[in-house]
Amino acid sequence: MSIASPRSAQGREFLAGCRDELPILLGVAPFGMIYGLLALGAGLPALTAQAMSSVVFAGSAQFIATQLIREGAPAVVLVVTVFVVNLRHALYSASVAPRLQHLGTGWKLVLAYLLTDEAYAVAASRYARDGDRPDVSPHRHWYFLGAGLTLWAAWQASTAAGVFLGAAVPQRWSLDFTLALTFIALVIPALKDVAAAAAAIAAGLLAVMVVGVPYKLGLVLAALVGILVGLLVDARRA
């Protein structure tokens, strides 16, 4: 019993994480397919496009990297832009770190790799719901693992569908516009307060104003300005 009980609890947590991640996959699947199509349009070989989903495993960074590759941007611009776009993961990490500090290095490396927007949303909701109650399961990292692996599998499969079926889509269809639509769909539900709305509006307006800046650097500038505006509005409301 002393061995079976912990394993049973770990299995329940893992399956709960998988289950809670499933509804989010309805939005992730088309997102991955669109990335696969755009990657082919940018001239990436199919295997390279698929490998990016496995190595990078960050939808927004992959979209922007694909756009920059198509524009012929220098490698340093590509690296810096992706770094700025992914800075939010540092905030995710800081948020969940207190809940994971008891884990070994191996666990932390795996969960860091799986720490994406959608996996974080599910795991953070679970942590917030549990709080610091004494009856909370000590195996919640298995819940995180289940959510992360479910998302990872869906992302790889949807990317593969876009990459390997994308050759059947005529180039004249020009699906680039779907990138903007997808990001709009992701952003709108997140605008839950004045600071977030102000940040989105400021970043959106500036992005339109600097659309002609080479190598999509206007997006980086717009993102930084949006963050600054959001922080200022939030500070004034505090």
In the block, residue with structure tokens 């959106």: 204
Q: Is residue 185, in this structure, part of any structural domain at all? A: no
d(CA 128, CA 122): 10
* Model pLDDT for residues 103-116, shown as the tens digit of each residue: 999 999 999 999 99
Query: Among 149, 174, 199, where does a domain finish?
Result: 174
d(CA 15, CA 145): 9
In the block, residue with structure tokens 């949006």: 226
Name the nearest CA neighbour of 88 among 223, 233, 236, 225.
Answer: 223
Report CA-CA distances (Å) from 223 to 39, 88, 176, 194, 230. 23, 11, 20, 17, 11
Q: Is residue 180, in this structure, part of any structural domain at all? A: no
Amino acid identity for residue 158 in this structure = S
Determine the straight-line distance between the first and last CA of the chain, rounded to whole angstroms: 52
Q: Same domain, yes or no, for 53 and 165? A: yes
Domain extent at residue 224: 191-238
Specify the 3-state DSSP secondary structure of 211: coil
Q: Is residue 182, in this structure, part of any structural domain at all? A: no
Number of independent structural domains in the chain = 2
CB 43 within 8 A of CB 70: yes
Q: Same domain, yes or no, for 49 and 158? A: yes
The radius of gyration of the chain from alpha carbons, rounded to an integer in Å, stands at 20
Query: Among 174, 206, 230, where does a domain finish?
Result: 174
Name the nearest CA neighbour of 221 among 70, 41, 7, 212.
Answer: 212
* Model pLDDT for residues 190-232, shown as the tens digit of each residue: 677 888 889 889 988 998 898 888 776 787 788 888 889 988 9
CB 36 within 8 A of CB 160: yes
CB 28 within 8 A of CB 152: no
Q: Is residue 186, in this structure, part of any structural domain at all? A: no
Does residue 126 register a pLDDT over 80?
yes
Local confidence band at 136 (pLDDT 50, 70, 90 cut-offs):
low
d(CA 117, CA 175): 24
Q: Same domain, yes or no, for 198 and 161? A: no
